[in-house]
Amino acid sequence: MFEDEVVSELLDARLVGVLSTYDAAGFIHSTPMWYARDGGGVILATSSRSRKVRNLEADGRATLVLHDSRAGYEVCGASIAGRVEIVRPPAAGALLDLVHWRYLDSEAAGDPEAAAYLASDDVALRFQALEAVLWDERESGAARVVRARGWALPLVSTEPRP
């Protein structure tokens, strides 16, 4: 992975990345995903039945976008182009755990619904970076002015549906 301060900061943060792959028609398919750093690469967990896996079986190129975006100009991120290796069972098991338990408390393993959802991830995607485009506006002049004057309007999250 690139030895860049922003990339390292994003990889270490518990965020949601967006993995983009090419489908058979040449269109981009983008999916938000959990991830974990693993040595020089990034591991993502998914189902072998997913569209992204079918896309990667045909073309291993992908882009991973990691960003930490906040109100105003408090944004930083990386768009990282690379290649993906699909790791299947049984080798995928430890890699899936690396991703899952980075985002969930271990008590989730005891809940049947949470365990069933996690079990749907049966392959790991090992992403290896080739090049990246980075942005970091957190200390730009515009960010400092907007922050100092309180001009940034808050981002608004959606609420989970019952």
CA distance linking residue 23 with residue 36, whole number of Å: 24
Q: What is the mean pLDDT of residues 10-38?
A: 97
Q: Is the pTM above the cut of 0.85?
A: yes
Q: Which of 60, 79, 59, 73 is nearest to 18 (CA)?
A: 79
Ordered by where they begin, the domains of the chain are 5-145 (2.30.110.10)
Give pLDDT, residue 133. 96
pLDDT tens, residue by residue, 63-76? 999 999 889 989 99
pLDDT tens, residue by residue, 39-53? 889 999 999 999 999
CA distance linking residue 55 with residue 29, whole number of Å: 9
**Number of C-alpha atoms within 13 angstroms, CB side, residue 160?**
1
When the pLDDT of each residue in the chain is averaged and rounded to a whole number, the result is: 95
Give pLDDT, residue 53. 98
CA distance linking residue 52 with residue 99, whole number of Å: 17
Helices (H), 59-128: 92-103, 112-119
Q: Where does the pLDDT of residue 1 fall: very low under 50, low under 70, confident under 90, or very high at 90 and above?
A: low
pLDDT tens, residue by residue, 101-122? 999 999 999 999 999 999 999 9
**Alpha-carbon Rg of the chain, whole angstroms?**
17
